Amino acid sequence: MVSTTPKNIFCTGSIIMDISVRCPQFPSVGETMYTSFPYELAPGGKGGNQAVAAARLGGNVKILGRLSTDDYGKELEKNLLDSNVDIQYLTKDEKEKSGVAFVWVNESGENQIICSPAVNTKCSFDDYAKVLHNISPGDIVIITLELPGILLEQIIKLVKEKEGFLILDPSGGDYSRLSPDLMSYIDLVKPNEVEAEILTGIKITDISSQENALEILEKYGVSYPLISLGENGVIYKNNGKIIHLAGQRVNALDTTAAGDTFIGAFAAKLSHGFSIDESVQYGNIAASICVQRRGAQSSIPSAKEVDY
């Protein structure tokens, strides 16, 4: 069933300027490596990427958090606006600097990232609560572990009290804050293989370890546990049924923001009343387009490209 009035999507993760450089392979500890490629400066941050993906793919998206008024902040703001993200609830901060992420991308398209989130760490409960207090049942809220300290728990509980649909991207922070009790509030969690091991204690090596990890996440109380498997697609559980959706066969140039694109695309589709299975399929296609291009928000496809 497809709804005519889409649910709202609220994104809460970081908004960051990415400084990316291509390298033949990752440097070893103590090694200085040279590359013939120039560095690139482009909008990123998990919250910014998820918001841009959801908005470009037809979602009604509002981003919450803090944005510096410095030069990077202005550029980040322009890019959000150009992508149709509603920024009216962002708190502007004149004192703190924008966050930056240093991204290395190797020849296989894999990345290593060091993030200095700066202004993003200054968010207060109020920055989010003033908006989240007024959400409607079924509105979608996307969170990451970038939410500082106790804010993570406060926001999770507030969203569930308001009957929002909570998507957790368990990356970007301290996993010890994710107790099994807190996990029971989550509707959909999307760890990658490394994060799935941290959350469940199970090393993801084959189908049976994937299924065991999904079962543990389900036992915590997550309604739809989903593990992203990179080029091998995703595996998830929906109403007791395990579904493996194979990855699209593409030539990956840069995997930065692929997970964010998956989440944003999933949320956009779900917000229009499509099923979990349809929304996962949509996310999978969107992410496969994202990895064929370089950069974070610069690589996120439009609805025209994903709907083809």
DSSP 8-state secondary structure symbol assigned to residue 216: H
Q: Do 144 and 46 meet the contact criterion of CB atoms below 8 Å apart?
A: yes
Q: Does 79 engage in binding with ligand RIB (CB under 6 A)?
A: no
Q: Does 16 engage in binding with ligand RIB (CB under 6 A)?
A: yes
C-alpha–C-alpha distance, residues 94 and 225, integer Å: 39
Residue 231: both structure tokens together: 């080029």
Concerning whether 82 is annotated as a catalytic residue, the answer is no
Judged by CB, which is closer to ligand RIB: 6, or 172?
A: 172
Give the x/- contact pattern for ligand RIB in 279-308, rule: CB under 6 A: -----------------x------------
Q: Does 256 engage in binding with ligand RIB (CB under 6 A)?
A: yes
Q: How many residues make contact with ligand RIB (CB under 6 A)?
A: 14
Q: Are strands 8-11 and 140-144 parallel, antiparallel or unpaired?
A: parallel
Binding span for ligand RIB by CB under 6 A among 10-18, 24-32, 153-161, 216-224: 10-18
Tell me how far the alpha carbon of residue 20 is from its chain's centroid: 18
Q: Which of helix, strand or coil describes residue 57?
A: coil
Question: Which residues between 163 and 202 bind ligand RIB (CB under 6 A)?
Answer: none
Question: Which residues between 111 and 170 bind ligand RIB (CB under 6 A)?
Answer: 113, 115
C-alpha–C-alpha distance, residues 177 and 193, integer Å: 19
Give the x/- contact pattern for ligand RIB in 19-58, rule: CB under 6 A: -------------------------xxx--x---------
Judged by CB, which is closer to ligand RIB: 3, or 112?
A: 112
67 φ/ψ angles, rounded to the nearest 5 degrees: -130, 130
At its nearest, how many Å lie between ligand RIB and the CB of residue 43? 8
Residue 108: CA count within 13 A, CB half-sphere? 7
Q: Compute, in degrees rounded to 10, the torsion defined by CA atoms 56, 60, 62, 68.
A: 30
Residue of 174, 254, 260, 307 marked catalytic: 260
Q: Do 169 and 260 meet the contact criterion of CB atoms below 8 Å apart?
A: yes
Binding footprint of ligand RIB on the chain (CB under 6 A): 14, 16, 18, 44-46, 49, 101, 113, 115, 256-257, 260, 296
Active site residues per annotation = 260
